[in-house]
Amino acid sequence: MTLQAVLDHIDEDLPKATDRLMELLRIPSISTDPAYSGDCDRAADWLVEDLHSIGAKAEKRVTPGRPMVVGHLPGEGTPILFYGHYDVQPVDPLELWNRDPFDPAIEETENGKVIRGRGASDDKGQLMTFVEAVRAWKAAGGTLPPTVFLFEGEEESGSPSLVPFLQENAEELTASLALICDTSMVAPGVPSISSQLRGMLKDEFTLHGPKMDLHSGHYGGPALNPLREIAKIVASFHDETGRVTVPHFYDGVHEVPKDQLRQWEASGFDERDYLESVGMRRPHGEQGYSTLEQQWARPTLEINGMWGGYTGAGSKTVIPAEAHCKITCRLVGDMDPDAVRKNLRAQVEAQLPADARVTWDTDIDGAPAAVMNTDRPEFEKARAALSDEWNREAVFAGMGGSIPIAGHFKEILGMDAMLIGFANEDDRIHSPNEKYDMTSFHKGIRSWARILDALSR
């Protein structure tokens, strides 16, 4: 059985593979909204059936939330696990979609064919690249490593059942290496292995002032205004060079080695295009660091939401009783989420004026940054396979986002992870008119076929 035969089969089978993906995309498996709970079940059932069709044993496994799908395919060599998620983001605002988000279609665009629909890129399309690669190998009668499939249904709602599920099923799920397909390429056509992910810390506070909302005529002047106070606190989080002022914030942050930086800058990442595509002419992060460093290798403290007082149409002469702020920090290197939270909270509390107090959200969350173990031989094998498929040197790239699953695999199962994805930055994931390039889907399947081939040697 030759790799070429498998690749030929993939090319021939692409229309049917696309039809299968379209079927899965038609199931509105939104995990954040209980109204779609039944649809999540249907998506899980569909995947169980599809795993059966490629010869795997598979079943839907109950959790307190949406079900997991676990499948097993026997094989030879070093066992692997493949992870993807079948749940999708909500579709609001629906009026900004050019079509029903759950009636997917192939569309011609100036950049080629795309599959348009919610979940096409995040993560059903990516998940199916791996399944289709396995199908092609099986159809061609080839041998694969022993493979565990783990499809989650709660990734878009914070994965509440994931850690307990990994703990309770540790033995069954532990392989030698986890493959994760939920990431992007550095630039279109540049195959990418994510070698480091930023961690994340989230926190939220309410600043309380007067006992009740006050009339800004009768009380304006003497009254403490929580909106003014929260603005002062938020404005204090960064200095004029864009550096975060929280004490000890940069403890555990390491400078990127020069050779890695050179490799990143040569990866095909187009800074100008990246900035212009979102309406910016220059990067706005820490001065002295490149856009890529700011995005992949530097920590951030971002305000994701801030509000208080009257926010409707027209005017209301109110001094509100409270103001609110949602924060996330992206963490790198050895930054400790708990230490960052403690120092962040202390900085906020130190700035409170008389008659103000602060309350903190208790639904807190934090995960440190993750660096992949790229010394493992599988990384070089995958890099070579990707380079062959895309006819372009594959790169080890950083990533600005956070994928806690890689950390969970390591901590709970002692299993390294390798993150390879074929999404593009313009896929509009989490937004209206999400799409997945047909090239990503087709060459993604072919990429996994090559990687599976390389891993089984």
95, 110, 259, 278: which one binds its own copies (CB under 8 A) = 278
Which residues in the 416-455 window bind its own copies by CB under 8 A?
A: 425, 430-431
Which residues in the 204-223 window bind its own copies by CB under 8 A?
A: 204, 209-223
Least Å from the CB of residue 404 to its own copies: 12
Stretch binding its own copies (CB under 8 A), from 2-10, 319-327, 373-381, 449-457? 319-327
Q: In a 3-state reduction of DSSP, which class is residue 45?
A: helix
Least Å from the CB of residue 245 to its own copies: 12
Least Å from the CB of residue 78 to its own copies: 31
309 binds its own copies (CB under 8 A): yes
Least Å from the CB of residue 54 to its own copies: 33
74 binds its own copies (CB under 8 A): no
Structure tokens that stand for 347 in this block: 């900085």
Stretch binding its own copies (CB under 8 A), from 107-115, 166-174, 187-195, 316-324? 316-324
Backbone angles phi, psi at 237, to 5 degrees: -70, -20
Backbone angles phi, psi at 325, to 5 degrees: -150, 130
72, 113, 326, 392: which one binds its own copies (CB under 8 A) = 326
Least Å from the CB of residue 248 to its own copies: 19
Which residues in the 347-406 window bind its own copies by CB under 8 A?
A: 353-355, 363, 365, 399-402
DSSP assignment string, 375-428: TSHHHHHHHHHHHHHHTS--EEEEESS--HHHHHHHHHH--EEEEE--B-GGG-
Sequence-ordered strand ranges (E) for 8-118? 57-61, 68-73, 80-85, 105-109, 112-116
407 binds its own copies (CB under 8 A): no
Cβ proximity to its own copies: between 399 and 412 the closer is 399
110 Cβ contact partners less than 8 Å away, ≥ 6 residues apart: none
Task: Report the distance separating Cα 182 and Cα 87, nearest Å.
Answer: 12
228, 248, 262, 272: which one binds its own copies (CB under 8 A) = 228
- Please work out the total of residues on this chain that contact its own copies, with binding judged by CB under 8 A: 84
Among 61, 257, 300, residue whose Cα is nearest residue 166? 61
Least Å from the CB of residue 132 to its own copies: 26
Q: In a 3-state reduction of DSSP, which class is residue 442?
A: helix
Which residues in the 77-136 window bind its own copies by CB under 8 A?
A: none
Least Å from the CB of residue 108 to its own copies: 24
Which residues in the 229-268 window bind its own copies by CB under 8 A?
A: 230-232, 234-238
281 binds its own copies (CB under 8 A): yes
Task: Report the distance separating Cα 410 and Cα 369, nearest Å.
Answer: 12
Task: Report the distance separating Cα 267 and Cα 361, nearest Å.
Answer: 40
Among 430, 389, 399, residue whose Cα is nearest residue 10? 389
Least Å from the CB of residue 203 to its own copies: 9
418 Cβ contact partners less than 8 Å away, ≥ 6 residues apart: 177, 178, 179, 180, 193, 372, 376, 378, 379, 382
The number of C-alpha atoms within 13 Å of 238 and in the hemisphere containing its C-beta is: 15
177 binds its own copies (CB under 8 A): no
253, 274, 360, 433: which one binds its own copies (CB under 8 A) = 274
Decide: 389 and 10 in contact? Cβ < 8 Å.
no
